[in-house]
Amino acid sequence: MDISSLDLNLLHVLDAMFVEQRTTRVAKRLGMSQPMVSYALAKLRHAFSDELFVRVGNLMLPTPLAVNLRDPVSRVLDTIAGEILRTAVFNPASCSDSFTFCLSDIGELVFLPALLETFREEAPQATIRCVSLSPHELEARLADGTVDLALGYFPDLDGHAIYQQRLFDHSFAVLLRKDHPTIGASINLDCFLAAEHAVVLQEGRSQELFERRMQELSLRRKVIIQSPHFMTIPQIVAYTDIITTVPLAVAKAYAKLAPLRWVTPPLMLPPIEIKQFWHLRTRSDKKAIWLRSLIARRFLGSDPTEGSDNPIFTVRQDESAD
Q: In the predicted model, what is the mean pLDDT of residues 38-51? A: 89
State residue 211's pLDDT score. 85
End-to-end CA distance of the chain: 87
Per-residue confidence band for 188, with pLDDT thresholds at 50, 70 and 90: very high
Q: Looking at per-residue confidence, does 155 or 127 come out higher?
A: 127
User: Letter for the amino acid at 216?
Assistant: E
- DSSP states along 198-236: EEE--TTSTHHHHHHHHHHTT---EEEEEES-SSSHHHH
Helices 34-48 and 23-30: crossing angle in degrees, nearest 10, is 110
* Beta carbons of 204 and 104 less than 8 angstroms apart: no
| Residues forming CATH 1.10.10.10 domain(s) in the chain | 3-84
Q: To 5 degrees, how large is the angle CA 298–CA 231–CA 228?
A: 100
Instruction: Using a cut of 0.75, tell me whether the model's pTM lies above it.
Output: no
What pLDDT was estimated at residue 322? Answer: 46
* pLDDT band of 316, cuts 50, 70, 90: very low
C-alpha Rg value of the chain to the nearest Å:
32
The CATH fold of domain 92-170+273-299? D-Maltodextrin-Binding Protein; domain 2 (3.40.190)
The domain 3-84 having CATH identifier 3.40.50.150: the answer here is no
DSSP run (H or E) holding 307: none
Q: Residue 133 has what pLDDT?
A: 87
Give residue 2's Cα distance to chain centre: 44
User: Given a cut of 80, is residue 273 above it in pLDDT?
Assistant: yes
Instruction: Provide the pLDDT for residue 183.
Output: 94
Residue intervals of the chain classified under CATH 3.40.190.10 are: 92-170+273-299, 172-270
What pLDDT score was predicted for residue 317?
A: 46
- Across all residues in the chain, what is the average pLDDT? 85
Q: What are 79-117's pLDDT values in tens digits?
A: 777 665 555 578 899 999 999 999 876 677 778 888 899
d(CA 187, CA 174): 9
In this prediction, residue 160 carries a pLDDT of: 87
Percentage, residues of the chain above pLDDT 90: 40
pLDDT tens digit sequence for 281-300 = 888 888 999 999 999 999 99
**CATH architecture observed for domain 172-270:** 3-Layer(aba) Sandwich (3.40)
pLDDT in tens, 202-241: 665 677 888 889 999 999 999 999 887 777 888 899 999 9
Q: Sorting pLDDT into bands at 50, 70 and 90, what band is 321?
A: very low
Q: What is the pLDDT of residue 320?
A: 47
Q: In this predicted model, what pLDDT tens digit does every residue of 51-73 receive, in sequence order?
A: 999 999 889 899 999 899 888 88
